Structure 1
């Protein structure tokens, strides 16, 4: 299999995930702007999830540029990532309906955590397939940014047992950390 087939499939899955997510936003009763206020929690959870999906799409694009040869490990690691990303619309909808409750926010954080771990695994499968000559290894080094994201998600999930407002702030913090595409890869490709 050529990597463009993997990229096309992944792009299609992400497009479907975003489409499913936006279809969860329902039109409110009424015809005035004040009727939109009830949708604020749903819209905020949608915006954050959309940003996360855009981050993954963008960084996945850069990641695939480092692949010279696909292996079954890369294919399965990519499917693992897509699996966790495909659960984002479900957790986004649940958080949007119950934004102040710990269980939906905890599950949302767990899905983000598993997506981050899956991205890390995919990166490692790519590095393993390329060996010491790996462009990705050269670009990300010890991958502090990836590892600290995983730690922040875990802290966010654990914080929900004590102070519920910390977790959403930590989830937003990770999004801010990644909002600018990972230039480490791009800079090493040129």
Structure 2
């Protein structure tokens, strides 16, 4: 597998080694030993799968406290996946990175605890998988509006399909700063 640093410390793009022939393809999606060697955690406690249609945008979400690191990948289809550093005190505060993830190529994105995460669907449908380092705790959720101009994510959709919850999320300027994690809470190597 190939592990590439992104423009945000700790956020990693992982590309598997794919073995293909006339029958199709095979690749490894998880190997604790190999991922530990790459500096990724190996203690995941919850796996999630979502299915969405073209134009759906999920995010931007995180949990604080009880943050979840997320190893995300597309099992079928294609998404534009985003991680945002909104940790108070971070020299990268307000910056984001995005990557296209596909079921065909098997790319994964590691989103460390303390980073906001979201994605939008580019294919007709998508099946999206998350490996999480902590359990879902809705009482600790902190979300930011997907199109907050202060963050300025260059989403490849203009009028996405959003949940009622995501439509009502605040802009960064409207969120009390104590609701955001700090760099001390979630420092990354």
**TM-score, with normalisation over the residues of structure 1?**
0.26
Rg: which structure is higher?
1
> RCO higher in 1 or 2 (8 Å CA, sep ≥ 6)?
2
More strand as a share of residues? 2
More helix as a share of residues? 1
